């Protein structure tokens, strides 16, 4: 049997050592960690492809990633995130460095490249802001200090709730000193140069909130994550699931797609298994949900169960993260012929106040786009030309609230009507104009184009409002103690970015934390030793 199989094409036993709902990086890493402990884990994925936001989709001879556009800290075999990837995949994933510049922050016609390496990062900024050299040094040190302090915060999530009640406050205190404050508050202590502040916050799309709303905790983790540069998985984003699934299968487990879980079964205040859409049930001593906190509480648990456990009330405390539209483009020439860069673009207006620009756009969608992110996956992947000779791809993303698309919620995918197509076309034209402004040689070369919306995200990810980062990364989010692997229901655990932080790396780390919570052992120690 293949490591990843469709539900209707396989025969599964009824009883497992553990069940994981969702095959995103959090679910897969949790399952792989438990497989390394000798457990037979069943991973159930409602989508036709495993991997969550690391899956890919294909159209007419092209392939696009849907969530993994780049990742940091994997170039060195000594880094923690690289060791986590190596541990859960048996070192099966290779990484391609993106080069000396990984992001270009652009305001109007001005570009501010972000260089890999701490010294190069600072030197690049100082060259553009020579009067702010001390502020730039202080900023980088504050980012690194916040990141260092996060260790205790995440260790606290893995320990039993009773122990956390005794010692957790001390373990969280240092990190929360940063995380309870907004990004803008912290940076404004260092500089009043609005242009520099705008550039330093130029990656806010990586966690979904502009600086006056986001926690400096998530900002610092994202910035620190890329200080050594960006990388891309050789072979595309799907190699992550493809290399983790065999580890799960080797211990007798299985990753199954097209297997929609409709209920986590609870008996006598204990999770005992799950029920699928076709009515079949599977049982295990514990269930782990990687479907997101809101999905788990509001859709997978019976209302009376989540209410009695106090989880329903907690679900209302933190709003959902941003939703987006993404244009997926295909070209019938190679990346080299089209001179596609590896570095991403973050395009902004000539107004350095991110929050003000977002506010204007949300009030009037005809206002300038508050952010345009452009990625070139075919240029980042050294294996691309072997798989898709003579072709290349580009992706363009911008913010788009779910509410703008709500009138088509409940309609059929690919059959939502002419008004919906016209609305999508409006976004597509705006995004293409942004691309042609920075890469004009692409105009007139487009072979294929389609746009995904928050409805697409909701359909394929199960996130009901199309949110791409789970719960919003506000200062309040990091103060919620219920966002941890343990729940008030015995045998029910959580994993994924909602109990950690945004992105692939955050979800991956959540898997290690959750597996540690399930076993009651410090599995990170094994990861770091590689054994």
Instruction: Note the pLDDT tens digit of each residue in 396-435.
Output: 999 999 999 999 998 887 788 899 999 999 999 999 999 9
What does DSSP assign to residue 22?
A: -
Mean pLDDT, range 122-142, rounded to an integer: 98
Length of the chain counted residue by residue: 531
CB atoms within 10 A of CB 6: 13
Residue listed under structure tokens 């497989």: 35
Q: What are phi and psi of 330, to 5 degrees?
A: -125, 140
Tell me the H-state helices in 12-77.
Answer: 25-36
Nearest-angstrom CA–CA distance, 407 and 357: 25
Residue 530 has pLDDT above 80, yes or no: no
Strands 230-233 and 261-267: unpaired
* Nearest partner of 341 among 386, 389, 375, 383, judged by Cα: 375
Q: What is the pLDDT of residues 277-308, one digit of tens each?
A: 999 999 999 999 999 999 999 999 999 999 99
Nearest-angstrom CA–CA distance, 90 and 94: 11
CB atoms within 10 A of CB 473: 30
Q: What are phi and psi of 15, to 5 degrees?
A: -115, 135
Q: What is the pLDDT of residues 146-187, one digit of tens each?
A: 999 999 999 999 999 999 999 999 999 999 999 999 999 999
DSSP states of 335-371: HHHHT--SSEEEEE-S---HHHHHHHHHH-TTSPPS-
Tell me the H-state helices in 239-347.
Answer: 239-250, 293-295, 303-308, 311-314, 335-338
> pTM for this structure?
0.96
Q: What is the pLDDT of residues 478-529, one digit of tens each?
A: 999 999 999 999 999 999 999 999 999 999 999 999 999 999 999 998 898 8
Residues 71 and 502: beta-carbon distance below 8 Å: no
Strand order in the sheet with 230-233: 71-72, 230-233, 95-97
Residues 220 and 200: beta-carbon distance below 8 Å: no
Residues 221 and 81: beta-carbon distance below 8 Å: no
Nearest-angstrom CA–CA distance, 130 and 430: 35
Report pLDDT for 516: 97
| CATH 3.50.50.60 domain span(s) along the chain | 4-93+235-317+480-529
Strands 287-289 and 492-494: parallel
Residue 217 has pLDDT above 70, yes or no: yes
Residue listed under structure tokens 């050592």: 17
| Sign, Cα dihedral of 42, 11, 461, 433 | positive
CB atoms within 10 A of CB 250: 13
Report pLDDT for 511: 97
Residue 463 has pLDDT above 90, yes or no: no
Average pLDDT score, the chain: 96
| Sign, Cα dihedral of 463, 18, 528, 486 | positive
Give the tokens for residue 440. Answer: 């004009």
Report pLDDT for 531: 61
Nearest-angstrom CA–CA distance, 262 and 274: 8
Nearest-angstrom CA–CA distance, 225 and 70: 11
CATH 3.50.50.60 is the classification of domain 4-93+235-317+480-529 = yes
Lowest mean pLDDT among 109-123, 230-244, 414-428: 414-428
Nearest-angstrom CA–CA distance, 213 and 500: 18
């Amino acid at each position: 049997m293949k490591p990843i199989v469709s539900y209707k094409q396989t025969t599964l036993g009824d009883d497992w050592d553990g069940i994981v709902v969702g095959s995103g990086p959090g679910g897969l890493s949790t399952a792989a960690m438990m497989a390394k402990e000798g457990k037979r884990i069943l991973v159930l994925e409602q989508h036709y492809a495993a991997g969550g936001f690391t899956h890919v989709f294909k159209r007419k001879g092209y392939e696009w990633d849907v969530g993994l556009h780049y990742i940091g800290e994997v170039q060195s075999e000594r880094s923690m995130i690289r060791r986590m990837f190596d541990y859960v995949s048996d070192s099966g994933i290779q990484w391609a460095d993106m080069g000396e510049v990984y992001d270009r922050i652009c305001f109007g016609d001005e570009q501010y490249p972000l260089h890999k390496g701490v010294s190069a990062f600072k030197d690049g900024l100082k060259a553009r802001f020579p009067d702010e050299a001390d502020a730039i040094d202080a900023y980088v040190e504050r980012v690194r200090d916040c990141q260092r302090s996060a260790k205790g915060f995440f260790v606290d999530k893995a320990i039993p709730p009773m122990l956390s009640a005794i010692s957790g406050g001390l373990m969280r205190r240092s990190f929360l000193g940063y995380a309870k404050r907004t990004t803008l508050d912290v940076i404004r202590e260092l500089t009043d140069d609005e242009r520099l502040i705008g550039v330093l916050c130029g990656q806010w799309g990586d966690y979904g909130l502009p600086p006056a709303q986001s926690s400096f905790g998530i900002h610092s983790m994202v910035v620190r994550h890329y200080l050594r540069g960006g990388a891309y998985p050789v072979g595309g984003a799907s190699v992550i699931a493809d290399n983790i699934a065999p580890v799960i299968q080797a211990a007798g487990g299985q990753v199954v797609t097209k297997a929609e879980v409709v209920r986590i079964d609870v008996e006598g205040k204990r999770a005992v298994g799950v029920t699928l859409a076709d009515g079949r049930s599977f049982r295990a001593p514990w269930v782990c949900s990687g479907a997101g906190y809101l999905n788990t509480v509001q859709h997978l648990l019976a209302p009376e169960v989540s209410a009695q456990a106090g989880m329903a009330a907690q679900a209302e405390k933190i709003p959902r993260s941003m939703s987006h539209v993404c244009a997926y483009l295909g070209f019938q020439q190679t990346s080299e012929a089209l001179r596609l860069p590896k570095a991403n673009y973050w395009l902004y207006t000539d107004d350095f106040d991110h929050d003000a620009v977002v506010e204007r756009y949300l009030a009037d969608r005809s206002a300038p786009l508050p952010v345009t992110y452009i990625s070139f996956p075919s240029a980042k992947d050294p294996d691309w030309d072997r798989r898709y000779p003579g072709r290349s791809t580009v992706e363009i993303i911008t913010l788009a609230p779910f509410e703008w698309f709500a009138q088509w919620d409940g309609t059929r995918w690919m059959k939502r009507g002419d008004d919906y197509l016209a609305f999508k076309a409006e976004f597509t034209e705006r995004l293409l104009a942004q691309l042609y402004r920075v890469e004009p040689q692409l105009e007139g070369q487009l072979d294929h184009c389609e746009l995904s919306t928050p409805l697409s995200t909701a359909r394929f990810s199960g996130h009901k409002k199309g949110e791409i980062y789970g719960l919003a990364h506000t200062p309040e989010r990091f103060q919620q103690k219920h966002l941890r692997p343990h729940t008030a229901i015995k045998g029910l655990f959580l994993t994924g970015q909602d109990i950690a932080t945004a992105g692939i790396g955050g979800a991956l780390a959540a898997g290690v934390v959750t597996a540690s919570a399930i076993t009651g052992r410090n599995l990170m120690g094994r990861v770091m030793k590689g054994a």
